[in-house]
Amino acid sequence: MPQAVGSGKQQRDAAVMRSLCSGTFSAKRNGPKVGGATGTETCYIPGVSKPKQPRTKVKKKGFVIGRASFGKISAVEGIRLTPAMKKRAADAQRRGLSAEEYRQAIMRSYRKA
C-alpha cells in the first residue's frame, strides 16, 4: 500500500471522505446507478459544501442618456446649464472631442489664472 502524503489531519479527512463516499450515492445528483457501478465514483455528502469558484469581475451594465434627457433630469434637481456651458458642449461636439479632451476643456475654462 502506498504511503499517504500530508498531515495527520489531511489523512484523517481523506479517510473519512472515503468511508462516507463508499456507500453514499445520490441518484438525483449523479444520475441513476447502472450496471456494475460501485457508487465510489462520485458521491453526495449532505453538509459538505462544494469548493468555491473564484468570482470573475462582473461588468456593470448601464446606459447612456442624451444631452436633452440629461438636461431634463438636471432641471428637476434645479441644475441648469448656463449659455457658456451650452456653447462649450456644442463646440466640443462640433470639433469631435473625445471624452478626455472634453473634460480637459471644461477644466481649462474653470482654472484660475
Q: Ramachandran region of residue 46, left (φ > 0), alpha (ψ -120 to 50) or beta?
A: beta
Global pTM reads: 0.39
Q: pLDDT tens digit string along 57-72?
A: 777 778 888 878 888 8
3-state secondary structure of 20: helix
pLDDT for residue 24 is more than 60: no
CB atoms within 10 A of CB 25: 18
